[in-house]
Amino acid sequence: MKLNWKLWFPQKHRHLLVKFAVVILLTGLALRLVFDRSTGLSSTIETPFPGETAVSKPLLSEQAPHSEEDQISIREKCDLFTGNWTPNPSGPSYTNESCPLIESHQNCMKNGRPDTGYLYWRWNPRGCELPQFDPERFLEMMRDKSWALIGDSISRNHVQSLLCMLSKVELAIGVYHDEEYKSRRWHFPTYNFTISVIWSPFLVKAAIFEDYNGVSTSEVELHLDKLDEKWTDLYQNLDYMIISTGKWFLKSSIYYENNEVLGCHYCPKRNLTELGFDFAYRKALKNVMNFIAMSGHKGLIFFRTSTPDHFENGEWFSGGTCKRTTPVKEGEIQLKDINRILRDIELEEFEKATEKASENGVNLKLLDFTPLLLTRPDGHPGPFREYYPFAHDKNAKVQNDCLHWCLPGPIDSWNDVIMEMMING
């Protein structure tokens, strides 16, 4: 028997049924749209590190602007020196086995450092994407060019990092070194490209009286008005430079100007006026910056701020250590007063020089890596500046290095930033 559904519902009930069916249909479509939209926006990247918060992955349209104007706008807004360290499961681009150019004090893996977590982080500037260093593109850009890193042992630390990253394409050949191997030069034959490190810890003329371990027999004699000719004599022949100084000005020193003694810093056995390291640092940097700004140099010059150390429970000479194995959050560690004074002077003198440099056609840029490295107390050699320091005695008293950086390590991210500034800065 066939049912006639019209007989079961009066006319007005049939209208209500139709309306009800339409409402259900529209509600279903709305829920479908909401569901599709939410699943499209909730893509996440699973962190390889247990306990780490998952990071939201933006849509492609959010990652890459479509127009050239948008790209320029983002570059202008991006501060490459403000950000955080994010997990990097792929790890460093080289190892101590693939690169033979790492000096022993920075070769933490070879020296027996047991943890490796410090190798799996990458610097992530806030609000922009930082491409990884491209060694092949870098070398192509540097055909028939010359680089120099001018300063103290942190510059030596950095040049090893750069050479190791470039070694994926070509291994540099050493072509020069001074008697103590503090100033050195390497050559890339395929590209006719040279990289030098020039030892000039004060950037001004200095007589230094200390041994290999940093033990001084007399005060440093600093001529604040005379720049160190080891770098100024080569200056105009260099295409690219990274110039830096800093911590050496904390040493006990006697200050000269016009070959006459002005005073000193920490010289209690001498009848001299205590002027303080900040007095000398400002005078020296002022002269360095003035020389650069007035030089008419046609290459690219970076001035790098001094780097923080992470000695805890003492200093390098009084049992200080750096035992942390992971980065810290922004604000968890404060810049030490001495480091803050150095950086403030650096930023002030750089700012004064930039306008003068621009007027004279000098391309002077700032590398403010201080905040970037402040949150990496895990990246230092610590006791592993020496080969297996606890092999014979697990409680051995050893000197820690909480100033320089393991290689590979956090300092490798400097090269990402520098290349981005060269291309788009």
Each domain of the chain, given as residue ranges in start order, spans 77-424
Task: Please say if 153 is a catalytic residue.
Answer: yes
pLDDT band at 217 (very low <50, low <70, confident <90, very high): confident
Q: What mean pLDDT comes out for the span 222-244? A: 98
DSSP-derived secondary structure letter, 57: P
Q: Is 184 helix (H, G, I), strand (E, B) or coil?
A: strand
Instruction: Tell me: pLDDT of 49 over 70.
Output: no
Of 32 and 92, more confident? 92
Provide the CATH topology of domain 77-424.
Rossmann fold (3.40.50)
pLDDT for position 44: 28
Q: Give the model confidence (pLDDT) of 105-164 as tens digits.
A: 999 999 999 999 999 999 999 988 999 999 999 999 999 999 999 999 999 999 999 999
Secondary structure class of 343 (helix, strand, coil): helix
| Of 401 and 77, more confident | 401
**Is 228 annotated in the active site?**
no
d(CA 415, CA 233): 26
Query: Of 404, 412, 413, 416, which one is the catalytic site residue?
Result: 404
Beta bridge partners of 205: 223
Average pLDDT of the chain is 86
The rounded distance, in Å, linking the Cα atoms of 232 and 243 is: 11
CA 421/CA 28 separation, integer angstroms: 52
Distance CA 49, CA 376 (A): 17
Catalytic annotation, pick one of 309, 401, 412, 416: 401
| C-alpha distance from residue 205 to each of 142, 208, 217, 229, 259 (Å) | 31, 10, 19, 8, 11
d(CA 408, CA 71) in angstroms, rounded, equals 31
Give the Å distances, CA to CA, from 1 to 5, 10, 54. Answer: 12, 21, 62
205: part of which helix (H) or strand (E)?
strand 204-207
Which of 46-55, 273-282, 309-318, 349-358 has the least mean pLDDT?
46-55
Q: One of 105, 146, 153, 380 is an active-site residue; which one?
A: 153
Can you give the pLDDT at residue 122? 97
Is 253 in the active site? no
The residues, any chain, with a CB within 8 Å of residue 309's CB and separated by 6 or more, are: 247, 316, 336, 339, 380, 402, 403
**HSE-up (13 A, CA, CB side) for residue 320:** 15
pLDDT at 74 > cutoff 90: no
Q: How many CB atoms lie under 10 A from the CB of residue 148? A: 24
Residue 179, pLDDT > 70, answer: yes
54 near 87, Cβ under 8 Å? no
Bond from prior residue into 408 cis (ω within 30 degrees of 0): yes
Locate 288 and state its tokens.
């360095």
Kind plus residue range of the DSSP H or E element containing 121: strand 121-125
Are the CB atoms for 150 and 198 separated by under 8 Å?
yes
> pTM for this structure?
0.82
What integer pLDDT is reported at residue 13 of this predicted model?
40
Query: What residues have CB less than 8 Å from 308, skipping those under 6 apart?
Result: 335, 336, 339, 370, 373, 374
**Torsions phi, psi of 3, nearest 5?**
-85, 135
CB 168 within 8 A of CB 135: yes
CA dist., res. 189 & res. 306, Å (int): 32
